[in-house]
Structure 1
Amino acid sequence: MDAQPEEPVRRRLTRAETKARTRALLLDAAARTFARKGFTGASVEEIAEAAGFSTGALYSNFSSKEALFLELLSDRRRDRLAAAAQALDSHGAGTAEAVTELGRLLVNVADKDIEFAALQAEFWLYAIRNPQVMGALADSARESHQALEGLVAAAMARRGAPERVSAQAVATVVAALFIGLVRQRRVDPDCVSEELFGQALNWLFTGINAEDADGD
């Protein structure tokens, strides 16, 4: 009788890998549950059940429902920043190609992430009524703001922007511009074209350099 082929031995996950897998499943379940019931309507029990875990497993990974939502929000920020960084690395800041890619990024966020936009608005109102949650929201945003600041600083250096101009301040303006244009496109798509965000960034950086020239 021919020998049967041995089944491949499955490697046991390390503790860190198991924890990462559990967190990923909880985040996926949270995204689905929040989308279906809203932030305030969803419970930690429903999220844990949807992920196939106990509430104890949820709380061992996330301190609260708010912390779970903030992690989802951070994931989306990281994805957007990674896409922006790829566009700048591939084409170079200020090029027509980079402007086009950044414009597409804004349009994709505005047009294809409507469900999460409603959740963000709900969570914003919840945070306004709960100052400790607003503090956690601010803390969560700082990581992505620092990453954006790095992209802005690199773009400013490539464009020869004056050193006295704060990359942190410019990053704040860029973030506000992105958020504002996303919201405006959702209200009135015709007034925010695919090219507008990239063009606005060019106007911003051109103005920074022009101010330095006037000072000379």
Structure 2
Amino acid sequence: MSIDGDAPDAEAPPRRLTRAEAKAQTRARLLDAAAQVFARKGFGGASVDEIAETAGYSTGALYSNFGGKDELFMELLASRTRFRQEAAVAVVGSGDRTLEQVRAELNRILVEFADEDNDVALLQAELWLYAIRRPELLEQLAARFRGNRDALTELLAGRAQARGRSEEVPFTDLATVVLALFQGLVQLRRTDPELVPPELYGTALRWLFNGAGNASKPDEG
């Protein structure tokens, strides 16, 4: 109301989105629509036309934001897993947590990822089955894994050096196994939670890192 009670104040018009904000909003809606369509029809059965229609856009808008269905699918999977990955990286890279606390946090992240992100499980399975027959897409998956591995390698090496551990530990190989172990246990827990109890990942990491500390020592015998 106005101060003298004569007439209500006019509502302020909504703020006009900037070009960057509008583009980000369009991409987000297309990704949400893609998740719905892929979950319902699978990668092979989904079409760019249906994804664009579900999002309320034209196919031209989809192609102006993504190179096609392959790129859209890769970005969707990355966006759905980014939060968990960033959380895990923050835990490993934190210098104020003990190793026991790090393992406990990684256990929690794995269990949440396996038990709550069921749509991601479907997306990952769809993508792998599709990519294994497409060398160019398989290379994109490999490049994404290498990026995650290299980032984890740097974190593991930095954490070990800060604690005076041997620099001869094969951190790149170690990072590869840590990531592969996470993915494998996630898939197995999704198959049957009883096969992967909540503390198993942390326990396996303890076994792994204890063994890695002896990796540079000559075999006895």
Shift of 1:213: 7.0
Shift of 1:81: 1.6
1:5-36: CA deviation from partner (whole Å, max 9, x where unpaired): 24234322111111111111111111111111
- Going from structure 1 to structure 2, the CA distance change for 1:140 and 1:57 (only over 3 Å counts) comes to farther
> Which of 167, 171, 175 pairs up with 1:171?
175
In structure 2, the residue corresponding to 1:39 is in which secondary structure? helix
Equivalence for 1:75:
79
Shift of 1:129: 1.4
Paired letter, 2:58: S
Equivalence for 2:56:
52
Paired letter, 2:61: A
1:81-125: CA deviation from partner (whole Å, max 9, x where unpaired): 222134443961512x32222112111222223333233222212
1:30-51: CA deviation from partner (whole Å, max 9, x where unpaired): 1111111111111111100111
> Which of 83, 99, 104 pairs up with 1:94?
99
**Structure 2 runs not aligned, ≥5 long:** none
Counterparts of 1:33-52 in structure 2, within 5 Å, are 33-52=37-56
- Going from structure 1 to structure 2, the CA distance change for 1:153 and 1:9 (only over 3 Å counts) comes to farther
Shift of 1:62: 0.6
Structure 2 Cα separation of the partners of residues 45 and 85 of structure 1: 37
Structure 1 Cα separation of the partners of residues 16 and 169 of structure 2: 52
Greater length-normalized contact order (CA 8 Å, ≥ 6 residues apart)? 1
1:147-202: CA deviation from partner (whole Å, max 9, x where unpaired): 33343334333443322334332211111111111122233322311111112222
Give the structure with higher Rg (CA).
2
In structure 2, the residue corresponding to 1:85 is in which secondary structure? helix
Q: Does 1:155 align with 2:124?
A: no
Equivalence for 1:140:
144
Please provide the CA RMSD for this pair: 2.4
Q: Does 1:2 align with 2:6?
A: yes
Paired letter, 1:75: S
Shift of 1:214: 7.0
Which has the larger helix fraction? Answer: 1
Q: Does 1:12 align with 2:16?
A: yes
Structure 2 Cα separation of the partners of residues 79 and 139 of structure 1: 19
Contact 2:185 2:196 in 1 (8 A): yes
Structure 2 Cα separation of the partners of residues 93 and 28 of structure 1: 38
Contact 1:91 1:98 in 2 (8 A): no
Contact 2:168 2:216 in 1 (8 A): no
Structure 2 Cα separation of the partners of residues 92 and 213 of structure 1: 28
* TM-score normalized by the length of structure 2: 0.84
Identity within the alignment, %: 52
Structure 2 Cα separation of the partners of residues 90 and 171 of structure 1: 18
Worse-matched range after superposition: 23-32 or 125-134: 125-134
Structure 2 Cα separation of the partners of residues 208 and 159 of structure 1: 15
